[in-house]
Amino acid sequence: MRIERAINQEKGFTLIELTITMVLTGILFGVVAVFITQPMKAYASNYTRSEMVDEADLALRRIARDIQNALPNTIRVSGTSVETVNVVEAVRYKAQGTNAISFAATNTTFDLASLYQTLSAGVFPANYRLVIFNTGAVDAGGNPIAGINVYNNTATSGTTVPPAGTIVISPVGSITYATTSPMISLGAAWQPAFPSPQQRLYTIDGAVSYVCVPAAGGGTITRYSGYSFQNATQPTNPAVAPLNAATSNAQLLGDVTACAFTYQAGSTQHNALVTLQVTMTRSGETIKLLREVVVSNVP
């Protein structure tokens, strides 16, 4: 009997012991939580900011790439929107000799001085057009001047500079490229206004617009292409023509709370400069990213 009582006395814990153990364990976890919570919050904040920086940087790189690939003198900036005309490829045209391009009469065929490197022989896609020496000139009201600004789709009339009937961009119509010669054949006759000092012939496929719509709850930057781009003023409203009829529109960036795009035109002494600035906010964290794009604009 004495042995049995000794064994029973050694079994389990008392209620007081369990209570003390639970209290001490709770205090220990509370102390540990104080030291862990702040590093975890800091990690989450850093991760969120890093994620936003990566997304914003990728978006600005994409915009910068289109700006650097733009037809000279076609960059239009309006606060929160950027528009450019996209170059597919540039070659050199034949300026002298048999079947050289003429700037005094219309052309239906003319020879090239170099071959296309990315485009194959045959008929180009219907949206492809040719451009020579786009100056981007505008009148006193800011409207694109006919004949020398690609955003104006009409030929000049009754003027000497640029000559009457000339236009900087080829008319809508089939364009056929032959590697033998090499030669361009046009479905619609074309008389460009002025020769390029470097004999550059640009092939373009339309315009690209980036429209930023910032919002406190998270706005967007969207890329638009495949719309009627020869407009007197830059399109900035996605809800109306021509952007609402774009064949392609894709969101480039979300959570945008502010953005500012500026353009400093170049001169003979220095290149043009496009500045892109975007602010993003997510999960209480905010980042601001800025990118500058140098543009030569030599036609």
Residue 242 is assigned to a structural domain of this protein: yes
Instruction: Render pLDDT for 258-299 as a digit per residue (tens, 0 to 9).
Output: 999 999 987 766 799 999 999 999 999 999 999 999 998 888
Residue 30 is assigned to a structural domain of this protein: no
Residue 188 is assigned to a structural domain of this protein: no
Tell me how many domains the chain contains: 1
Q: What is the Cα 228 distance to its own chain's centre?
A: 17
State pTM to two decimals.
0.86
Q: Say what the pLDDT of residue 11 is.
A: 61
* 290-295 LR contacts (CB < 8 Å, sep 24+): 291/57, 291/60, 291/61, 291/63, 291/64, 293/63, 293/64, 293/67, 293/68, 295/67, 295/68, 295/70, 295/75, 295/266, 295/271
Q: Say what the pLDDT of residue 296 is.
A: 87
Q: Say what the pLDDT of residue 4 is.
A: 52
Q: Say what the pLDDT of residue 270 is.
A: 76
Range of the domain at 227: 49-84+207-295
Structure tokens at 6: 């000794």
Q: Which helix (H) or strand (E) holds 26?
A: helix 15-68
Instruction: Render pLDDT for 174-198 as a digit per residue (tens, 0 to 9).
Output: 999 999 999 999 999 999 999 999 9
Stretches where the chain sits below pLDDT 70 are 1-13, 31-37, 40, 43, 268-269
Q: Say what the pLDDT of residue 21 is.
A: 76
Structure tokens at 249: 């529109």
Contact yes or no for 120/140 (Cβ under 8 A) = no
Q: Say what the pLDDT of residue 15 is.
A: 77
Instruction: Quickly tell me which residue has 């034949």 as its tokens.
Output: 94
Residue 272 is assigned to a structural domain of this protein: yes
Residue 64 is assigned to a structural domain of this protein: yes
Contact yes or no for 135/148 (Cβ under 8 A) = yes
Residue 153 is assigned to a structural domain of this protein: no
Type of residue at 56: A
DSSP at 247: S
Q: Say what the pLDDT of residue 23 is.
A: 77
Q: Say what the pLDDT of residue 162 is.
A: 87
Structure tokens at 297: 């604009």
Contact yes or no for 136/72 (Cβ under 8 A) = yes
Residue 176 is assigned to a structural domain of this protein: no
DSSP at 245: G
Residue 43 is assigned to a structural domain of this protein: no
Q: Say what the pLDDT of residue 10 is.
A: 57
* N-terminal to C-terminal alpha carbon distance within the chain: 111
